[in-house]
């Protein structure tokens, strides 16, 4: 490939990483030459500073970006195109600022004995008719095999569920049409079934599943047992199919075993057929889980598998992305193959309906795009943009031209390439997973930042870059350092979200706490009261800037104390916090919110509590004492 345009420094950085990454997979023959698809050389990123993309102080952004926080366990909201971080939503982590993981309200969502860490990858905002409806954001936890739902009015998770029978939920995607009723989540690792310590030494009996979750109840509807493993996934635009990539078709336990086959596959599920199987009772259950498990492995079926189509796909495929706005094609990115595989959804339907025999007949193009293709996104002009991990590039290619080339026509489908810094994973264009795709901006989530920012020790920032894709050529417009480690992002128009400005007093998020107060005969909005119930003490207090409704309360050493604070301020942004010194307690109380935390008063003496959210000129004075009698 021609890297002529790059300066020497840039060249050496880039090649260092590419070579080391290639060495790691040398056995796979990846170091070989690449032809037609990579004709157009790379070019250095042209930075457009001080352009029309700037968002001046006081101006609002055009888009909301939902960013995964990776192994920070959170989800973040950014404003686009400024890339300003607007909010962190704690989900699978514990958060000192908001008290997520400390408050009773968040613990009810997290469930008993919830792990303290998480690994979020793929935030997905709910749809109505393949358009963002701003209700929920769903997110996976790869580290602890969970799925969470975040309410987008208050930006807090309201349901977190454990997924049985699988390990490491990675890909997560939503039904688009007619609306998001099903959430699909795939388990990446294969494990014994059941995984109870009885059958660990026979990896040929390790399997994984795709899980279907009811978006409204967050209950698991069913699981589908598959061959191979499962990685990323996406749905079509009819509500019928889900496709998932498999990079371990060999079901290997080690890297060489996993990388053995030249082709792995994309598995495509017929969701109504599996729904029907469950309705007919055609399923089993595994171990002590009562989730219906439908067998979608090839060995379970003579003739055509009614539940799953396995489309051979080169090699260790990764990203699975349906092309908007009609959802005609699905692009699977090859990772260890320099290709993307384009599957036509209508042909998938034909295969399931008996019209096609060879699963590969659903493939309509396989363009060569560059080294290490991971994910693909789209504009509204028929172009796809694929992230190239090894080349540290985004490549723009035309889908219809790639189909023509696959049919034997002499056509160059590559439109442009741009360097990103460095080693990009995910990428996403504005509204690219919906009918409203607009082809304006693309975010490139680069895994390495090295020399792009001031050094801050051995742990480097990630570099989420913003690229203007509205013209013929891509233009880099922003470097955005971020904390470990965004995997995926999506951007929706600002008008597609309508968040609450203050809490509603009947918000279900704290309804159980309100019910507890009612059972104690306490009116949270008017009363400040201490209720003793054996060695359990419930302290109800209000907050109005700059006062807590109670400046002291008295308990006995060893009491289990629950402090419930209700913020009576109803002015936007007048948030209070409640921190109990030396007791590991701090939590948020936003306008009209009720929050609570429970702790043991195990230390006799005077313990101050204070407001932790700067709320008033007399914020420092907003405090009180807990007196603990020995």
CA atoms within 13 A on the CB side of 7: 4
Q: Least distance (Å) from ligand RUQ to the CB of residue 160?
A: 19
Q: Please identify, using beta-carbon distances, which residue of 69 and 425 lies nearer to ligand RUQ.
A: 425
Residue nearest to ligand CUA (CB): 611
**Helix locations, 280-416, DSSP H:** 345-352, 399-406
Q: Is the peptide bond before 485 cis (omega within 30 degrees of 0)?
A: yes
Q: Which of 318, 421, 435, 576 binds ligand RUQ (CB under 6 A)?
A: 318
Piece of 192-200, 483-491, 527-535, 611-619 that binds ligand CUA (CB under 6 A):
611-619
545 binds ligand CUA (CB under 6 A): yes
Q: Quick one: the chain helix, strand, coil %, rounded to 5?
A: 15, 40, 45
Q: Please identify, using beta-carbon distances, which residue of 166 and 374 lies nearer to ligand RUQ.
A: 374
Q: Please identify, using beta-carbon distances, which residue of 53 and 487 lies nearer to ligand RUQ.
A: 487
Three-state DSSP class for residue 5? coil
Piece of 205-213, 351-359, 496-504, 606-614 that binds ligand CUA (CB under 6 A):
606-614
Piece of 186-194, 249-257, 439-447, 609-617 that binds ligand CUA (CB under 6 A):
609-617
166 binds, among ligand CUA, ligand RUQ, none (CB under 5 to 8 A by kind): none
611 binds ligand CUA (CB under 6 A): yes
335 binds ligand RUQ (CB under 6 A): no
Classify residue 336 as exposed, middle or buried by CB count within 10 Å of its CB (0-12, 13-18, 19+). buried
Piece of 4-12, 377-385, 423-431, 613-621 that binds ligand CUA (CB under 6 A):
613-621
* Residues near ligand CUA (CB under 6 A), total: 9
**Helix locations, 381-487, DSSP H:** 399-406
Q: Which of 426, 435, 493, 538 binds ligand RUQ (CB under 6 A)?
A: 426
CB of 488 closer than 8 Å to CB of 123: yes
Looking at residue 26, the DSSP 8-state letter turns out to be G
124 binds ligand RUQ (CB under 6 A): no
The distance between the two most distant Cα atoms of the chain, rounded to a whole number of Å, is 87
426 binds, among ligand RUQ, ligand CUA, none (CB under 5 to 8 A by kind): ligand RUQ
CB of 175 closer than 8 Å to CB of 127: yes
Q: Which of 163, 374, 429, 545 binds ligand RUQ (CB under 6 A)?
A: 374
How many Cβ atoms from other residues are within 10 Å of residue 351's Cβ? 19
Q: Please identify, using beta-carbon distances, which residue of 120 and 562 lies nearer to ligand RUQ.
A: 120
576 binds ligand CUA (CB under 6 A): yes
CA angle, residues 596, 601, 606, in degrees to nearest 5:
105
b/e burial code for range 207-233 (CB count within 10 A of at least 16 → b): bbbbbbbebeebebbbbbbbbbbbbbb
Q: Which of 16, 453, 608, 614 binds ligand CUA (CB under 6 A)?
A: 614
Q: Which of 179, 417, 487, 529 binds ligand RUQ (CB under 6 A)?
A: 487
Looking at residue 163, the DSSP 8-state letter turns out to be P
435 binds, among ligand RUQ, ligand CUA, none (CB under 5 to 8 A by kind): none
Q: Least distance (Å) from ligand CUA to the CB of residue 551?
A: 13
Three-state DSSP class for residue 18? helix
Residue 326: partners with Cβ closer than 8 Å, 6 or more residues away: 237, 435
Q: Least distance (Å) from ligand CUA to the CB of residue 126?
A: 34
Q: Please identify, using beta-carbon distances, which residue of 321 and 612 lies nearer to ligand CUA.
A: 612
Site for ligand RUQ in 142-161 (CB under 6 A): none
Residue nearest to ligand RUQ (CB): 425
Residue 276 belongs to what H/E stretch?
Answer: helix 271-279
Q: Least distance (Å) from ligand RUQ to the CB of residue 485?
A: 8
Q: Which of 30, 615, 626, 628 binds ligand CUA (CB under 6 A)?
A: 615
Classify residue 354 as exposed, middle or buried by CB count within 10 Å of its CB (0-12, 13-18, 19+). exposed
Residue 133: partners with Cβ closer than 8 Å, 6 or more residues away: 125, 126, 127, 179, 180, 496
Site for ligand CUA in 155-194 (CB under 6 A): none
Q: Least distance (Å) from ligand RUQ to the CB of residue 510?
A: 33
Torsion of Cα atoms, 398 then 399 then 402 then 407, to 10°: -140
Q: Least distance (Å) from ligand RUQ to the CB of residue 327?
A: 21
487 binds, among ligand CUA, ligand RUQ, none (CB under 5 to 8 A by kind): ligand RUQ
Q: Considering only CA atoms, which of 157, 93, 94, 72 is closest in space to residue 585?
A: 94
Residue 273: partners with Cβ closer than 8 Å, 6 or more residues away: 306, 307, 352
502 binds, among ligand CUA, ligand RUQ, none (CB under 5 to 8 A by kind): none
Q: Which of 372, 425, 480, 591 binds ligand RUQ (CB under 6 A)?
A: 425
Q: Please identify, using beta-carbon distances, which residue of 386 and 542 lies nearer to ligand RUQ.
A: 386
Please state, in angstroms and rounded to a whole number, the distance separating the CA atoms of residues 33 and 128: 45
CB of 444 closer than 8 Å to CB of 68: no
Q: Please identify, using beta-carbon distances, which residue of 511 and 620 lies nearer to ligand CUA.
A: 620
Please state, in angstroms and rounded to a whole number, the distance separating the CA atoms of residues 79 and 520: 43
Please state, in angstroms and rounded to a whole number, the distance separating the CA atoms of residues 14 and 419: 10
Q: Least distance (Å) from ligand CUA to the CB of residue 548?
A: 8
Piece of 13-21, 279-287, 314-322, 610-618 that binds ligand CUA (CB under 6 A):
610-618
Q: Least distance (Å) from ligand CUA to the CB of residue 543?
A: 6
Please state, in angstroms and rounded to a whole number, the distance separating the CA atoms of residues 371 and 38: 9
* Residues near ligand RUQ (CB under 6 A), total: 9
374 binds, among ligand RUQ, ligand CUA, none (CB under 5 to 8 A by kind): ligand RUQ
Q: Please identify, using beta-carbon distances, which residue of 524 and 615 lies nearer to ligand CUA.
A: 615
Phi/psi at 180 (nearest 5 deg)? -75, 95
Q: Which residues bind ligand RUQ (CB under 6 A)?
A: 121-122, 170, 318, 374-375, 425-426, 487
Q: Which residues bind ligand CUA (CB under 6 A)?
A: 545-546, 576, 611, 613-615, 619, 622
């Amino acid at each position: 490939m021609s890297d002529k345009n790059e300066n020497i420094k840039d060249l050496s950085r880039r090649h260092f990483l590419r070579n080391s990454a290639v060495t790691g997979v040398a056995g796979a023959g990846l170091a070989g030459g690449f032809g037609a698809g990579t004709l157009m050389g790379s070019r250095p990123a042209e930075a457009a500073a001080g352009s029309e993309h700037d968002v001046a102080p006081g101006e609002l952004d055009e888009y909301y970006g939902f960013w995964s926080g990776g192994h920070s366990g959170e989800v973040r909201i950014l404003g686009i195109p400024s890339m300003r971080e607007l909010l962190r939503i704690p989900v699978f982590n514990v958060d000192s600022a908001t008290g997520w993981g400390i408050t009773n309200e968040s613990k009810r969502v997290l469930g008993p004995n919830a792990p303290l860490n998480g690994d979020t990858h793929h935030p997905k905002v709910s749809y109505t008719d393949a358009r963002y409806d701003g209700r929920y954001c769903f997110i996976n936890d790869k580290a602890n095999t969970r799925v969470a739902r975040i309410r987008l009015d208050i930006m807090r998770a309201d349901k977190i569920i454990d997924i049985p029978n699988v390990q490491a939920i990675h890909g997560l995607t939503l039904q688009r049409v007619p609306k998001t009723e099903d959430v699909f989540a795939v388990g990446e690792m294969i494990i014994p079934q059941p995984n109870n310590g009885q059958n660990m030494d026979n990896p040929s009996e390790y399997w994984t599943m795709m899980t279907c979750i009811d978006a409204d109840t967050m209950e698991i509807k069913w699981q589908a047992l598959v061959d191979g493993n499962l990685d990323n996934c996406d749905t079509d635009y009819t509500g019928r199919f889900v496709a998932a990539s498999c990079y371990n078709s060999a079901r290997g336990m080690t890297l060489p075993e996993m990388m053995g086959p030249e082709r792995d596959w994309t598995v495509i599920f017929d969701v109504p057929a599996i729904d029907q199987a469950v309705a007919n009772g055609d399923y089993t259950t595994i171990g002590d889980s009562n989730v219906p498990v439908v067998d979608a492995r090839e060995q379970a079926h003579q003739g055509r598998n009614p539940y799953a189509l396995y489309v051979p796909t080169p090699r260790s495929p990764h990203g699975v992305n349906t092309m908007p706005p009609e959802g005609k094609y699905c692009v699977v990115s090859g990772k260890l193959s320099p290709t993307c595989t384009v599957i036509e959804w209508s042909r998938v339907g034909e295969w399931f309906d008996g019209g096609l025999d060879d699963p590969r007949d659903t493939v309509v193009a396989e363009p060569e795009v560059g080294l290490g293709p991971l994910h693909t996104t789209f504009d509204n002009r028929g172009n796809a943009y694929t992230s190239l991990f090894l080349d540290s590039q985004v490549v723009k290619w035309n889908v219809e031209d790639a189909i023509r080339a696959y049919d034997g026509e002499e056509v160059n489908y590559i439109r442009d390439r741009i360097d990103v810094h460095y080693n990009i994973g995910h990428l996403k264009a504005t509204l690219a997973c919906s009918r409203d795709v607009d082809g304006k901006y693309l975010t490139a989530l680069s895994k390495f930042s090295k020399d792009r920012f001031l050094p801050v020790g051995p742990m480097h920032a990630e570099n989420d870059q913003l690229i203007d894709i509205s013209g013929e050529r891509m233009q880099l417009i922003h470097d955005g350092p971020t904390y470990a480690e965004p995997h995926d992002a999506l951007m929706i128009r600002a008008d597609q979200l309508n968040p609450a400005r203050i809490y509603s007093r009947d918000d279900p998020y704290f309804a159980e706490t309100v019910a507890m107060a009612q059972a104690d005969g306490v009116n949270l909005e008017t009363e400040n009261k201490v209720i003793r119930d054996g060695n359990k003490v419930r302290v109800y207090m209000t907050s109005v800037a700059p006062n807590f409704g109670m400046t002291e309360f008295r308990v006995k050493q060893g009491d289990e104390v629950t402090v419930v604070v209700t913020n009576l301020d109803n002015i936007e942004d007048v948030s209070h916090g409640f921190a109990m010194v030396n007791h590991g307690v701090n939590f948020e109380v936003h306008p009209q919110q009720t929050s609570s935390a429970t702790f043991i008063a195990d230390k006799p003496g005077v313990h101050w509590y204070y407001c932790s959210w700067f709320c008033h000129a007399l914020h420092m004075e907003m405090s009180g004492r807990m007196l603990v009698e020995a």
